[in-house]
Amino acid sequence: MKVIGAIAQIFLLVLVNVGCESVPVAAEPPSKTNNGFNEVSVYTCYTPVKLDIMPLSEFIRVNDDQERSKINVYVSLLDSFDCQIKTPGIFRFELYERVQRSAEPKGKRIAIWPDIDLIDPVENNEHWRDFLRAYEFNLDFEPQGSRSYILQVTCLCPSDKRLSAEFGLKHTE
């Protein structure tokens, strides 16, 4: 009787395992899940979102000549992680007089320089200062006496973004 019980248990065990087993199906490669991941969208975090005029920007005299001077402007572009980046773009510089004690300190425009196109890699590298992680621009300007100015810098990015910043400059004789 023990033998018949053991055979019945084995038969039942085989029957359950074989009967409930699913038919093997050919393995398919895992399909790509649509979790919103887009390869191009990853890089959008690394495009410029902010323009910053560095405090190194100032008036300088050319060869200690009182008659000729320039404005040295240092501009950094920041991505969405607040890191300084190098990128193509077109830069526009405008200088306004500063109106003292006013709700709108930017007065009339005094100067506008031709746009500087940094789309070309050679031109871009000429203005890039790697040790500062910023661009350097030298703008010719002849200030009249001791005056305060507001410099506005605008960058037209290839993504059609327009980034702008203002910086106060003071010329002293």
Phi, psi of 82 (to 5 degrees): 65, 30
Cα 50 to Cα 148: distance, rounded to the nearest angstrom: 25
**CA torsion, ordered 154, 155, 160, 163, to nearest 10 deg:** -60
The two tokens of residue 133 are 């992680």
Cα 86 to Cα 132: distance, rounded to the nearest angstrom: 11
pLDDT tens figures, 77-88: 999 999 999 999
Nearest to 134 by CA among 60, 79, 53, 46: 53
Q: What is the pLDDT of residue 91?
A: 98
Does residue 9 carry a pLDDT above 90? no
Pairwise pLDDT comparison (12 vs 94), residue with the higher score: 94
Cβ atoms within 10 Å of 149's Cβ, excluding its own:
21
Cα 38 to Cα 75: distance, rounded to the nearest angstrom: 31
pLDDT tens figures, 82-118: 999 999 999 999 999 999 888 888 999 999 999 999 9
Q: What is the pLDDT of residue 161?
A: 92
Does residue 163 carry a pLDDT above 70? yes
Percent of the chain past pLDDT 70, that is, above it, reads 73
Q: What is the pLDDT of residue 144?
A: 79
Residue type, 62: V
| Max CA separation in the chain (angstroms) | 121
Q: What is the pLDDT of residue 27?
A: 53
pLDDT tens figures, 19-52: 555 555 555 555 555 555 667 677 778 899 999 9
For the chain, the average pLDDT equals 83
Percent of the chain past pLDDT 90, that is, above it, reads 54
Q: What is the pLDDT of residue 102?
A: 81
pTM above 0.75, yes or no: no
Domains and CATH numbers, the chain: 47-171 (2.60.40.2550)
Only one residue has tokens 């059609």, namely 160
Find the DSSP H helices in the chain.
Answer: 2-19, 39-43, 121-127
